[in-house]
Amino acid sequence: MSSDGPAQTDLGFTDPNPTLGPKYGVVKAFAIPIVSVLLAFAVGGILIYFQGVNPFTAYRVLFESALGDSDGYLRVMQKSTPLIFTGLAVVVGLRVGLFNIGAQGQLIVAAIGAAWAGYHFDLPAVVHLPFALGFGMLCGAAWASIAGVLRAYRNVSEVITTIMLNSIAIALVDYLASRPFKEPDQPLSRTPLISDSAALATFGVIPSGFVIALIVSLFFGWFLIRTTEGFRFNTVGLNPNAARYAGISVKRTIVLAMAVSGALAGMGGAVETMGVVGRFEPAFNAGLGFDGITIALLARANPIATIPAAILVGILRTGANSLQFETGIEPEVVDVILALTLLFVAAPIVSRYIFRINAKRKSKSKGRS
Amino acid sequence: MDDELVLEVTGLTKRFPGVVANEDVSLTVHKGEIVALLGENGAGKSTLVKMIYGLYRPDEGEIRIKGETVRLSGPREAIRRGVGMVHQHFQLVPVFTVAENVILGNEPRKLSFIEKRKAIKEVTALAEKNGMAVDPKALVRDLPVGAQQRVEILKALYRRADILIMDEPTAVLTPQETDELLKTMKGFAANGVAVIFITHKLREVLAIADKIEVLRSGKVVGTTTPAEADQAKLAQMMVGRSVLLSVEKSTSSPKEIVLDVVGLSSDSDIGLPAVREVNLTVRSGEIVGIAGVEGNGQRELVEALTGIRKSTATKFAINDENAIGADPHEIHSMHVGHVPEDREKDGLVGQYSIANNMVLNRFDEPEFSRRGIRNMDAVNGLATKLVKEFDVRTPSIKTPANSLSGGNKQKVVIARELSANPSLLIASQPTRGVDVGSIEFIHSQIISARDNGAAVLLVSAELDEVLGLSDRILVMYDGEIVAELESADADRAEIGRLMAGGHAVMAEESSHG
Amino acid sequence: MHRKLLVAGLAVAALVLAGCSSSDDTATDTTSAEATTEAAEETTEEAAEEEVTEESAPAVTMDDSNCAAPENYCVGLVTDLGKVDDKSFNQAAFEGAQLAAGEIGAFLKYVESTDPKDYMANIGQFVAKEYDTIVTVGFLMAEASAAAAAENPNINFVGVDQFQGETLPNLTGLIFAEDQAGYAAGYLAGLMTETNKVGAVLGTDTVPPVLYFGEGYRNGVMAANPEAEVTVVYHEPANAFTDPEWGAAEAKKQVTQGADIVFGAGGGTGNGALIEIAKSPESGKSVFCIGVDIDQYNTVPQAQSCLLTSAEKKLVAGTSALVLASFDGTFPGGNFVGATGLAPYHDTEDAVPAEVKTEVEGVIAGLLDGSLETGVVK
Amino acid sequence: MRARWAWTITVIILVGIMFSYTQDELRTTSVLSFSLRYAIPLIIAAMVGLVCERSGVINIGIEGQLLMSAFAGFFGAAATGSLIIGTLFGIGTGLIMGAVFATGAVAWKMDQIISGTIINIIATGLTSFFYAQGQVLPASTPVVAIPYLKDLPLVGPVLFNNGLFTYAAIIIVIFLQIMLFLTIWGLRTRAVGENPSAADTSGINVQRTRFINVTLAGGLAGVAGAYLSLEAAGTFERGFTAGRGFTALAIMIFGAWNPVGAFAAALFFGLTQGVASQLQADEVVDIPPQFINMLPYVLTIVLLAVVAGRVRPPAAVGKPYEKD
């Protein structure tokens, strides 16, 4: 038992370099999340059944509304976008052995930061867009860095600090939106609308924020495997002692990773402000950071896998209201399904079952050789 | 010694994923008998006693305690049946007092409340009775190692253990402390306690054991007594063939100074001085060995020299370059290779492939990366080459390091550190827990590094290793270098005394007398 | 063993939950008109033991498959982040829609938003089915309603609690003079107080209606009784409407400090205050509470003993009137100021002197005809 | 050193309260009552975290446990018409939630943070999904004034004129303080939280101890949840625990993992809330309420940053116990 390394979170990811790593991670990477989702849907189906609705009808409605037409696609993409970012934020933390519970706080701080940068300045779009986006990311990174620095230099658990920082962030943005940044001459607590020059466009049914999310996600998939900095992240996450002995500054890596994590969550908030909401309004960003935890775990700390995981959550959240419209089932059933999915992904029951099947198969195939 | 059989183990087998830790082990222990379990690291001694203590459950076989076949569900039941254990890594709660640690699990109680005063009285009495001085109200974290071990022993005695297992109790003690402990153990035996004594130190075994069981690769390979055996015979039984007592090597031809240290001091993890004003030079082409009982500052010294631990020094230079305040990365770039003491914890990333481990501290060098992007072809190329050169037995360079044996893991670390052609190699316990074949290979690699002009600083708790490899020997005691000897005139007994804190002069006197 | 424990535990929990959910069959009805859909029809046999839907409305159109047909009239309702059972304005608006739908034999269905970004989409579901009238509830939805109304000129939109700056013929914002209701309540409190101290426990002042209620109340008290001391405390914005425990504690504090009438306004937070006052042994004798939005005598039965009245926005009446107007073709467009006033005294009828009742009625009349100002700056 | 400034602050606050009492009796006692009331659920919830962490398990699922048991307590009482049965429902649900959490975090050795997160998400989902409106408590919990004591100046009306749960909370704190530091259970629990391996070799079943403690802590969460819905609020709303489970963690840390310390910390934070709302009511100064509300969290972070190392969680917290 090492006493002073970062808490290790074994999520079953193995050698992060697939070209060098063995293939045994594949089962864990795909089978467990898929089986877990199916199981969660099964249990959710039972709940739906007891509400007097045919679960198959309910699920058909849910998926049709999300994937049935271009409007559905657009909404799924819009909903998935911030979730990809917050999922990535949690993933990057996990890779370095940090549990960033604070994506929510980082996201809202960045969302109001981007809104301020978006309405307060009047700049040409080529400057304004990156400026507002960057300023939001900076806010998220700074917010997360408080936890990162405390973790690295004072050995204070980032779990506790990010929980505290979430509560502080909520109070802080409420204050900002209701007083200094408030849109004047109207009663609501919200900021003014951002200038058009800071608004992210939607191309047809494809929001540009979603495209950015995809690119960033793919980038981090590459970054963690192919770059020296990514190698540092992984090494610190897997064995901080060995990292230190190998000349990697663990403290610097922790601070950097937490800042990157916060910047990613912040990007989610900024994109949400600039691409979807158009201003900062407190209720509009509820729960996005917490969904990030679900997504990161569902993706088993793989950056690219956050895309399908976020899309799944996006579909569920998009379809929830249609489910109520068509069948009268309360939209909260989606939360129950997500919680169950997370339970099955994290709990060893599913993986044990899958591995037992797998082991049996292997022992059979070994018989040949 | 009594004839009453208190412990009988037959056909005990324990498997862990991928390893058979114990296979068909049988053993008998009588009342008042001291049975030594002798074997190298990894021979299965600890696994065996952990089964007897109920920490592991045997896969096959039978344990009979005082004539009764038992299936131990855990330590609690073992304790109830009179089995006590002094663990190699002390099982103490640092923030508890001595008394609290001793009574934990067997508390004197009134209703559910602990009778604190009674506990302190009992512990004091027990300590006095067994001649072990310790303050029951002191916090364990404030005690020195020797005193902590006494607490550990008191814990077992408090539970009225009449079968006492001692797992490598002398590893952390000086020779003098060791002698005292051996005396105490004899006292226990005289009082009718059966003692199972685990060690890999032959001298101790011959000194006090009534019976010696030698384990190798999880099996009992022989049973003997001190009367029938001598050190050479025991060693042969342990390793299965004659040990090369001295390593073959040419005489050294030291050249320029590579490592030059004057007045280096460093603190331990809990902030106490661990390394005091150490002066040290290592020249190109020589191996300097540091002998000493573990815990006398060797670890802190190595960590200070490699930049992992903060230190102060009047002078600390590597190849004439100032290294005071340098971090591990900077030290590494001064062409220093470091084989850490605990390779699993500090030397490797178990989940990484062999290839990634081969460049663990060089991944960002221009050879293996360009503008922050890793060059995997170069990495794989180097790994393939090193696996062949250093005879790492692995199916592939993509195999995770976790799945290698101890010896092969160590070869990966040594290969990595030597492949950069270091001008200074700091090797800490380079053959700990490594099989005999690998030991020889590793020794020959260290010597050939020296012959190629590297300066080598070797730290080892195995005196034979230090004696066999070093050209010069420094003895470390209580954070200080207390003596420097040319290996030619080094004498085992003398070094032993030095390791125990005896001064060189005294050593000379005693050797005259 | 642990696994069995978990399964058993979950089973027990599920049973407990199921028990709870079915126990509301007899509770205040909210499920009437939305009941039957094609999905539910498919499963009616299976759902034999399910909630029995109480059809309060006669001759309702049974589904929304053909809303475009003139003989089928469909009414949809979208809430903001609240639920139609929130004991507050969402519920009142829904009840209003139910009332109207029952009267005209319309089909009624609702969707509860879970994310503000879904407002348009949720409205869109009703639009797609060509609903005739769509009720959107809550000031947060004002902009979404305006946008939807502009896009769909042949559907009428009722925006409850939404001030519409731009006038569209097919969008009517149902607004209320909360300050007037608050003023009336405050006036009553000012006359009723024996200790010359009255209090108010409110949701956040960042939500306009709450602010108007609060400040109207303050001014009302002062107008009735210049010697009285008014304590007005708002919750912070986070969890402003879901913190009954804070509401209760704050109400208790005000009573301890001598307030004998407390106005609780702010969703669950305000309800917490009302329930706390009702716990007092003097409840209904010398200590009173005043509710908000709708007649809380019905929605917060625990508070009946202390409930003097409720500063009412006639949400039910207003919503139902606008839905009916939409049906009749007399939809006004722009903004429609709904009635405000005080709910009946109920159990405290006898505690309020007749002259107080008369005086308060006079004040309400004055507010309505404009002869009296509340002094609240909007 | 920490103890010294903690005492200094305590003395300053007490002197302040005395002074305020001489100035305005009623305001002082009512603000203190408010503070105590604000503190009570936090205190009990902090005890949940404390028992878990002292056993080596970090529980960030307190929020969910509170929510579920408040839900079950309220609807149990409403359905059966009995506050006592409702309370039992709440505690029972708390125990179940504790056992579920223990199954994940202890028995299955899942990551403790993930287990807690799952508890929170499940609780939010289930309570929203199954929430039914229109339920009413059969009665309100009685306020019990303790004879003689209630007539004491200052402390009488504040401490000795409360609902039963309030007394229960105070008793729980004292009880746990005694249990933790004077009894065998306490010694063993602390051993398990500090060095599980040492506990194991001393014959203590680490897994069982943790499982039982975490489950029982869930029962405490049940008490807190029942308090919230049955005594404090008298109702249930979706999500109405309003982050108290997280604030409880802050309080636990601020109290240095010590029941009485946590009690003091909770009272301190309660006092800040009480004073803040009084300032607003009296229209004295206009402090944005958000700043008052973030105070516990800011102070906790500052505390952790400044005295890190001295305020130390039990050594084994967060790590599932693996033999060797």
- Which backbone phi and psi does D249 adopt, to 5 degrees? -65, -40
CB A253 within 8 A of CB A231: no
- What's the whole-number mean pLDDT along residues A74-81? 93
Q: How many residue contacts between A and D have a Cβ separation below 8 Å?
A: 128
Sequential pLDDT tens for chain D (324 residues) = 456 777 888 888 888 888 888 888 888 999 999 999 999 999 999 999 999 999 999 999 999 999 999 999 999 999 999 999 999 999 999 999 999 999 999 998 888 988 998 899 889 888 988 888 777 888 777 888 888 888 888 888 888 888 889 999 999 999 999 999 999 999 999 999 999 999 999 989 999 999 999 999 999 999 999 999 998 888 888 888 888 998 899 899 888 899 999 999 999 889 988 888 888 888 776 778 788 778 888 988 888 888 766 667 888 888 888 875
DSSP-assigned letters across all residues of B13-43: EEEETTEEEEEEEEEEEETT-EEEEE--TTS
Of C113, C117, C236, the CB nearest to A174: C236
Q: Please give the structure tokens belonging to residue B340.
A: 């850490």
The answer to whether position A298 is within a domain reads yes
For chain B, give the longest Cα–Cα distance: 75
8 Å CB contact of C278 and D140: yes
Radius of gyration for the alpha carbons in chain A, expressed in angstroms and rounded: 21
CA–CA separation, B351 and B399 (whole Å): 9
8 Å CB contact of D194 and B94: yes
The reported pLDDT for the residue numbered A3 is 33
Angle CA(C83)–CA(D224)–CA(D105) in degrees, nearest 5? 90
Alpha-carbon distances of C234 from A171, A186, C185, C250, D41, rounded to whole Å: 15, 19, 17, 10, 21
Whether B74 and chain D come into contact, CB under 8 Å, resolves to yes
Q: B341-366 burial, b if ≥16 CB within 10 A, otherwise e? A: bbbbbbbbbbbbbbbbbbbbbbbbee
CA–CA separation, C266 and C275 (whole Å): 13
pLDDT class for C4, splitting at 50, 70, 90? Answer: very low
The answer to whether position A277 is within a domain reads yes
Q: pLDDT tens across B50-75, in order? A: 999 998 999 999 999 998 999 988 88
Q: pLDDT tens across A79-99, in order? A: 999 999 999 999 999 999 999
Give one word for B289, left, alpha or beta, with left for phi > 0 and alpha for psi -120 to 50: beta
pLDDT class for B495, splitting at 50, 70, 90? Answer: confident
Residues linked to residue C351 through DSSP beta bridges, in sequence order: none
Q: pLDDT tens across C183-233, in order? A: 999 999 999 999 999 999 999 888 888 999 999 999 999 999 999 999 999
Q: pLDDT tens across A21-35, in order? A: 334 455 666 788 888
The reported pLDDT for the residue numbered D25 is 85
| Chain C residue at shortest CA distance from D141 | C279
Domain that includes residue A188, residue range: 88-310
**Of chain D residues 93-152, which have a CB less than 8 A from chain C?**
93, 96, 99-100, 102-103, 107-108, 126, 130-137, 140, 143
CB C171 within 8 A of CB C157: yes
The reported pLDDT for the residue numbered D282 is 81
Q: Does the pLDDT value for residue C25 go beyond 60?
A: no
The answer to whether position A365 is within a domain reads no
Pair type for strands B472-477 and B287-291: parallel
Domain that includes residue D229, residue range: 2-133+153-306
- Give start-end residues of each CATH 3.40.50.2300 domain in chain C: 57-176+314-339, 178-313+345-369
CA distance C206 to chain A (A): 6
Q: What is the CATH number of the domain that holds D119?
A: 1.10.3470.10
8 Å CB contact of D235 and C302: yes
Of D104, D124, D294, the CB nearest to A347: D104
Radius of gyration for the alpha carbons in chain C, expressed in angstroms and rounded: 22
pLDDT class for B498, splitting at 50, 70, 90? Answer: confident
CA–CA separation, B25 and C96 (whole Å): 84
Do C and B make contact, counting contact as 3+ CB pairs within 8 angstroms? no
The answer to whether position D148 is within a domain reads no
The reported pLDDT for the residue numbered B500 is 67
H or E segment at B299? helix B298-305
Pair type for strands B273-283 and B315-318: unpaired
Q: pLDDT tens across A301-342, in order? A: 899 999 999 999 999 999 998 899 988 888 888 988 988 888
Of D34, D132, D243, the CB nearest to C21: D132
CA–CA separation, C239 and D265 (whole Å): 23
Q: Does the pLDDT value for residue C86 go beyond 50?
A: yes
Angle CA(B372)–CA(B376)–CA(B379) in degrees, nearest 5? 105
Disruptive mutation site among A112, A335, A350 for chain D (greatest number of D CBs within 10 Å): A335
Q: Does the pLDDT value for residue C362 go beyond 90?
A: yes
The reported pLDDT for the residue numbered C299 is 86
Percent of chain B with pLDDT over 70: 93
8 Å CB contact of A71 and C124: yes
CB D86 within 8 A of CB D76: yes
Q: Does the pLDDT value for residue B86 go beyond 80?
A: yes
Question: Can you state the angle between helices D83-102 and D62-80, rounded to 10 degrees?
Answer: 150
8 Å CB contact of A154 and D315: no
Closest among B100, B85, B93 to D56, alpha carbons compared: B93
Distant-in-sequence contacts of B413-416, Cβ < 8 A, 24+ apart: B413/B339, B413/B340, B413/B343, B413/B347, B413/B348, B413/B357, B414/B339, B414/B390, B414/B442, B414/B445, B414/B446, B415/B358, B415/B386, B415/B387, B415/B389, B415/B390, B416/B357, B416/B358, B416/B359, B416/B360, B416/B361, B416/B362, B416/B386
Low-confidence winner among A264-268, A312-316, B290-294 (lowest mean pLDDT): B290-294
Total structural domains in chain D? 1
Percent of chain B with pLDDT over 90: 55
- Which backbone phi and psi does B445 adopt, to 5 degrees? -65, -40
Q: Is D146 exposed, middle or buried (0-12, 13-18, 19+ CB in 10 A)?
A: middle
Q: Please give the structure tokens belonging to residue B9.
A: 């183990």
Of residues B326 and B467, which shows the higher confidence score? B326
Mean pLDDT of chain C: 83
Q: pLDDT tens across B441-452, in order? A: 899 999 999 999
Q: How many residue contacts between B and D have a Cβ separation below 8 Å?
A: 76
- What's the whole-number mean pLDDT along residues B207-229? 89
The answer to whether position D126 is within a domain reads yes
The reported pLDDT for the residue numbered B252 is 79
Give A-chain residues touching C46 at CB under 8 angstroms: 49, 52, 54
The reported pLDDT for the residue numbered A25 is 54
The reported pLDDT for the residue numbered B273 is 86
The reported pLDDT for the residue numbered D3 is 63
Closest among C263, C214, C266 to C240, alpha carbons compared: C266
Total structural domains in chain A? 1
List the domains of chain B with CATH numbers.
5-239 (3.40.50.300), 257-512 (3.40.50.300)
Of B345, B352, B373, the CB nearest to A238: B352
8 Å CB contact of D309 and A154: yes
CA–CA separation, C60 and C72 (whole Å): 9
Q: pLDDT tens across B344-387, in order? A: 889 999 889 999 999 999 999 999 999 999 999 999 999 999 99
Whether D58 and chain A come into contact, CB under 8 Å, resolves to yes
- Which backbone phi and psi does C222 adopt, to 5 degrees? -60, -35
Give B-chain residues touching A15 at CB under 8 angstroms: 351-353, 356, 398, 400
The reported pLDDT for the residue numbered B239 is 64
- What's the whole-number mean pLDDT along residues B309-331? 94
- The SS3 call for residue B311 is strand
- What's the whole-number mean pLDDT along residues C241-256? 91
- Which backbone phi and psi does B82 adopt, to 5 degrees? 95, 15
CATH topology of domain C178-313+345-369: Rossmann fold (3.40.50)
Q: Does the pLDDT value for residue A4 go beyond 80?
A: no
The answer to whether position D15 is within a domain reads yes
Return all residues near B501 (Cβ < 8 A) that are at least 6 apart.
B174, B176, B477, B478, B482
CA–CA separation, B309 and B305 (whole Å): 8
The reported pLDDT for the residue numbered D299 is 86
Instruction: Quickly list H helices, A8-124.
Output: 25-50, 55-67, 70-95, 103-120
pLDDT class for A358, splitting at 50, 70, 90? Answer: low
Mean pLDDT of chain A: 86
Question: Tell me, what amino acid is at D269?
Answer: F
pTM for the whole structure = 0.86
The reported pLDDT for the residue numbered A348 is 73
Question: Which class in CATH covers the domain with range C57-176+314-339?
Answer: alpha beta
Mean pLDDT of chain B: 87
Angle CA(C143)–CA(C148)–CA(C153) in degrees, nearest 5? 130
The answer to whether position D16 is within a domain reads yes
The reported pLDDT for the residue numbered D263 is 94
Low-confidence winner among A13-27, B119-133, C341-355, D114-128 (lowest mean pLDDT): A13-27
